[in-house]
Amino acid sequence: MSSLDDLYRRVIMDHYQNPRNRGAFEDDALTINMNNPTCGDRISLQLKIDNGKVRDAKFTGEGCSISMASASMMTDAIKGVDVDKALNMADLFSRMMKGEDVEDELDELDIGDIEALQGVCKFPARIKCATLAWKAMQKGVSETADHDKA
């Protein structure tokens, strides 16, 4: 195993064992519940979106280390950013999971520890685990945008 693989494994395990933004808001927040029926991972993502910005994000759920680490990394990355940037991050993450070369864009978007999940694309059965939180965020942001237009 390369030292980079080892570093990535440690970053993933750190987010799994010490998740950032785990919990629930006491007051109103947009809540999106999703699950991965193939493996049983589930997430409840809460977002606070105001004036086109993700003001805060939290999650609860159960799942494998990849799923929960990805949720931790994602909530960390999207807090305080414009909704459009959060959606761009989700698109970039999805393409990364498909094995596309996104190296240049990783630096541009400053996605923090998320780069550690690059190796997941080598394990197709785990891709849905890694993308669960991201899909929940996309769904929530889309619902907010649809609600704002109504």
The answer, yes or no, to whether residue 9 has pLDDT greater than 60, is yes
CATH number of the domain encompassing residue 70? 3.90.1010.10
Number of domains in the chain: 1
Give me the domain span that covers residue 50. Answer: 3-142
- C-alpha distance from residue 54 to each of 42, 68, 76, 144 (Å): 22, 20, 11, 11
Report DSSP state, residue 40.
Answer: T
Interior angle at CA 75, CA 29 and CA 89, nearest 5: 115
**Is 150 among the domain residues?**
no
Model confidence, pTM:
0.91
Model pLDDT for residues 54-105, shown as the tens digit of each residue: 999 999 999 999 999 999 999 999 999 999 999 999 999 999 999 998 988 8
Model pLDDT for residues 33-60, shown as the tens digit of each residue: 999 988 899 999 999 999 999 999 999 9
